[in-house]
Amino acid sequence: MKIAIGCDEAAYRLKMVIIKHLEGRKDIELKDFGAKENETVLYPDVAKAVAEAVASGEFERGILVCGTGIGMAITANKVNGIRAAVCHDPFSAERARKSNDAQIMCMGERVIGTELAKYLVDIWLKCEFAGGGSTPKVERIKEIECAYMK
């Protein structure tokens, strides 16, 4: 699985923990979209870059981290075709994939600890969209998105 990952300066430490956690896994290829150590960035720029990379099909999933995860999710969801979700507990991480087919998970370094973040990433990566009763809902999200992307 190809994963795009990015952060702002508020979450550099957490991003590096996640990268270290996923490095060495033969089933995962990571690309870091920034920020670099001691680099100040506007988180919307990082979120846009990761979301565009996922929307283009170059990457299957994305992980975005900032202080709260909220700003990253808001920005990523502006990119056509993206469903980004803030995941701060196991149930939301699972349902973001299984019910909402979210391709990008967002987390906040100021909200959760590193061990929980690693656990949530593992949950989110192993889950797939379940379809079923969620399919018409995700399709409706896409219809609404198309109506506003004109």
Distances 49 to 1, 21, 55, 91, 127 between C-alpha atoms, Å: 18, 22, 10, 27, 24
Name the residue with tokens 């349902």.
Answer: 95
Rounded to 5, what percent of the chain is helix, strand, coil?
50, 15, 35
DSSP 3-state assignment of 103? coil
Angle, helices 114-126/12-22, rounded to nearest 10 degrees = 50
CA triplet 136, 142, 145: central angle to 5 degrees? 140
Is 127 a residue of the active site? no
Catalytic residue among 7, 66, 87, 106: 66
Looking at the annotation, which residues are catalytic? Answer: 66
